[in-house]
Amino acid sequence: MLAIDFNSIPISALALLLALIAYSSINPDFTWPTDQLTTQYCTYDTQSVFSYNIKLPWTAKCTDTICTQVKNNKTISFDYIIVGAGTSGALLAYRLVNAQPGRTVLLIEAGGDPLAQSVPPRLFPNTLNNSATFNFTAAFNPNASQAYEKGSNANSGKALGGSTTTSTMTSVCGNDKDFAEWADLVKDSSWNYANFKQYLKKHENMLDNSLTSGKCANYHSTSGPIGVSDVGETVDWFSPTLKNAFQEKNYSALNDINCGGPYTGYANVRMYINKGQRETTAHACLTKLTEKSNFILLKNTFVKSVIASNILGVVTVKGVNVHTTQSGCENFQIFANREVILTTGAQNTPKILLQSGIGRSKDLCPNVSQILSLSVGYNHMDHVSTIHFFSVPESNNSEIVQTINFTAKAFSEGVNYLLTQNGYFSYFSGWNLQAFVNVTQKSSSYPDIVYNFARFDQCIGDFNLTLNNYGFKQEFIKQIYDASRTNSILMVSNILQKPQSSGTVKLGSCSDPLANPTINANFLSNSNDTDTLLKGMNELYALMNTTTMVNYGVKDLMINITECNAFKRYSDAYNRCYMKYFSNGERNVCGTAKMGNSNDNDAVVDKNLKVYGVTKTPFTANLRIVDASIFPKITMGDISCVVFGVTEKAADLIIADNP
């Protein structure tokens, strides 16, 4: 449904589509009307069980279905069962289906079609908290997130495309030091940067021609399915000022953060945007599989557990236990001939394993027998950040000024976007520059802090909704939103890159297998994390106090926090208090089923991403994990690119094991 060919839309439909886009900008749960049609349990000739392409709802015929087979007590089996059609799962399905046309691939997704607002990059904040996300929150943490209504945000995508429909769209592929650490922990050189680099770039269809030649060409690909582009410095009127401030602070200009180093300085953000649309794995991968006879897609279908057994110490896996809301097909089993592959992310993958009896005995439900004792759900990591707000005097070149009605602006830009996929809706203001700094070792070429910038225009109509989607408490939303009535707002994330704190993911219910897991993010429990974030705050304030910024009129909003008023503003004591309130995770959750060598008692998967202790026989399947759960350590920047790299490597491993 997400794959919309704008060039084929009749002129008579433009008015309706424009109204839908405008409405979706103020309604976080809006879906395209045809989504209701695409959730039927249908086959379309040899295509997916649930239609995905926008043309299919009117042509699909409900003929033979998996549900019919269930009702007729037929055994349902596939060569590969992939659980989760998100960042990893959709790309993995794309690779396996195309590489092995003689093997059948079943892709199972708990969510449905992506929401309309996941298409235009401008509407990114509207994707953060709605019906197409797992709206997870972490357990109360006295050290962090006190300015947030529900505490630490831990949501992830629940739709075709998964978190690629909700991410910041930034492409940062870690650094060589990250993967040297991985290779050392796993005791396998195939995971070092020199060897893993081929997989980090394999997913790319690099659309920035400046990076496909010259010294950076070897770090990029133009043959992958997923588009990556440079939105450019000129899309936002404040970018030149920000760039001048970087230069005043002597930050080096980086042509490409994914070019083998150095990794400190400032750079244009390369983003998963293709022709003005957010690039998701749903659009880039799944729409290309609809005519593949060896591919089946199940939407709105939950996998409760894998079918695992332990007979005389031999652990085997046969398939998955499935739940749907379809009458007569609420609970059934699907069997795998070769592989069961979990790609549901670092919060749902441990949940499925624990519900399968795979984990530490103390973490399992009383009614579930332990199949394997592994450290499932531990080593939870995320980039934690502090969020800061600054007022910026509006420019004459601003997209929206106080005298222009936002609705009229959105209407005219909506028409432009529908016709050209350019303009206001095709990018996100201020998100086009990032700064990478080391605040503890100034001479290091590896950052321990990354600054992300997002700018919101004066009197923008949906800024209040944006703040609510971020989850701030109303007392803080009012202060920030009121400031936007007279100024543009610059929101800066001060992001810790190598957190030492780690948390857990455990079962939230022993009676409801669909219940959310219990997440203890444990942010800022390690003093090294708070110390580095504090230095990052001080560096950020120094950046905002450069002559460039002061002369432009940039000012800290100086949000009133009652508890922090006891301290002198900008003192270490005040900043630590501020950190306690305006800190949160960056939704780069990883590590909860980590990869490690055979001597690592906390490892869940081996170097080939196979779950330790599971034996494949001629009648049973491998059990693999292919998502951010397997990260032994978190990497630099948004983790999407690295997850893609893990997936590409996994595809090669799976194909090699199943010739």
Annotated binding site for FAD: 87-88, 303
Compute the distance between CA of residue 493 and CA of residue 536 in angstroms, rounded to an integer: 10
Phi, psi of 537 (to 5 degrees): -65, -45
Q: List the structure tokens of 72.
A: 């007729």
Compute the distance between CA of residue 113 and CA of residue 287 in angstroms, rounded to an integer: 12
Q: List the structure tokens of 172.
A: 């940062």
From the annotation, which residues make up the binding site? 87-88, 303
The strand pairing partners of 333, in sequence order, are: 321
Q: Which residue carries 């893990």 as its tokens?
A: 646
Phi, psi of 635 (to 5 degrees): -110, 170
Helix (H), strand (E), coil (C) string for 481-547: HHHCCCCEEEEEEEEECCCCCCEEEECCCCCCCCCCCEEECCCCCCHHHHHHHHHHHHHHHHHHCCH
CB 579 within 8 A of CB 530: yes
Spell out the residues 6+ positions from residue 423 whose beta carbon is closer than 8 angstroms to its own: 413, 416, 417
**N- to C-terminal Cα distance for the chain?**
33
Report helix, strand or coil for 148: strand
Phi, psi of 94 (to 5 degrees): -55, -45
Which conformational region is residue 145 in: left (phi greater than 0), alpha (psi within -120 to 50 degrees), or beta? left
Phi, psi of 112 (to 5 degrees): -115, -145
Compute the distance between CA of residue 195 and CA of residue 191 in angstroms, rounded to an integer: 6
Compute the distance between CA of residue 520 and CA of residue 507 in angstroms, rounded to an integer: 11
> Which amino acid would we find at residue 184?
D
Compute the distance between CA of residue 448 and CA of residue 636 in angstroms, rounded to an integer: 8
CB 648 within 8 A of CB 203: yes
The secondary structure of residue 617, as a DSSP letter, is -
Q: What is the four-CA torsion angle of 138, 141, 143, 145, rounded to 10 degrees?
A: 50
Which conformational region is residue 572 in: left (phi greater than 0), alpha (psi within -120 to 50 degrees), or beta? alpha
Peptide bond into 513 cis (omega under 30): no
CB 328 within 8 A of CB 70: yes
